Chains A and B, each alone.
Chain A
Amino acid sequence: MSSTFDTVANIIAETCDIQRDTIKPESHAIDDLGIDSLDFLDIAFAIDKAFGIKLPLEQWTQEVNDGKATTEQYFVLKNLCARIDDLVAAKGR
């Protein structure tokens, strides 16, 4: 069974035509991988389907816009994967 990171990295590679080996846990989806908001919708769609969750993108965006969170908290891949794991765990409760 592949890890959350492997699944997310594969989704990003396929969706955005980014070489898989350039996608690291420390990569920032926006700043390092150059993923824009429209491409991120496709990624969110694929992540939602793959994990059976609903990434709270609107809430995250609002928190970043309000200065209550940084983009790194949500869009550095290891942090994104941790959030996904939390959402998956919450779903099972």
Chain B
Amino acid sequence: MRIEYFQLIDRVADLNLSDLTIRAEATVPTESTIFEGHFPGRPLMPGVLLVECMAQASGWLIIARTHFERMPFLAALKEVKLRSFVTPGQALTVSAKLVHEGSGFAVTEAEISAEGKTICNADITFRVVDFPKGEFLASMQDVARRIALPMEAIAHG
């Protein structure tokens, strides 16, 4: 995780545009100023960042599905359950499935697991708008390459 940049996905391990699923890896950093405050002597990954992590995995799935033509923005959360504490250095698997593509919105079911155990899960709604062009698109494509989003599969998906 590049937690200071709010880029929480390290690597896309699997993208399936037939099943509309994504699986990604995200390792919590061992050190961050966040852990100095949350909490002193008992560092824990904040739950809101776990939610953001699920949203980002879902977001990459939607971006891949729409071939970088549409950009999702977090709009609503339902059935959010934070089941276990997450600590610095923990390796997480972030999964999401696109369950509905509406007109201007999309809904995913997402979860984070570690060592086969579910850490948290949520149903997430996104507003989906035309992808901003120019520098924004280029920077998002750079991030996509860094996290190994399979651009070839997207281009031919």
Contact = CB atoms under 8 A, between A and B. Distances in A.
Chains A and B are bound partners: yes
Interface string B104-144: 11010000000000000000010100000000000000000
A49 B101 CA distance: 11
A54 to B, nearest CB: 6
Contacts of B125: 41-42, 45
A45 to B, nearest CB: 6
B103 A55 contact: yes
A56 B104 CA distance: 8
Contacts of B127: 41
A53 B88 CA distance: 45
Contact of A59 (B100, B101, B103, B107): B103
A58 interface: yes
Contacts of A48: 100, 102
Nearest to B130: A58
Main secondary structure of the interface of B (DSSP, over half): strand
A41 B76 contact: yes
Contact of B76 (A38, A44, A55): A38
A51 to B, nearest CB: 12
B75 interface: yes
B48 to A, nearest CB: 19
B100 to A, nearest CB: 6
Interface of B: 75-76, 100-105, 107, 125, 127
Given A45-B107, A48-B102, A58-B103, 13 more contacts: A38-B75, A41-B76, A41-B102, A41-B125, A42-B76, A44-B103, A45-B102, A45-B105, A49-B100, A54-B101, A54-B103, A55-B103, A61-B104
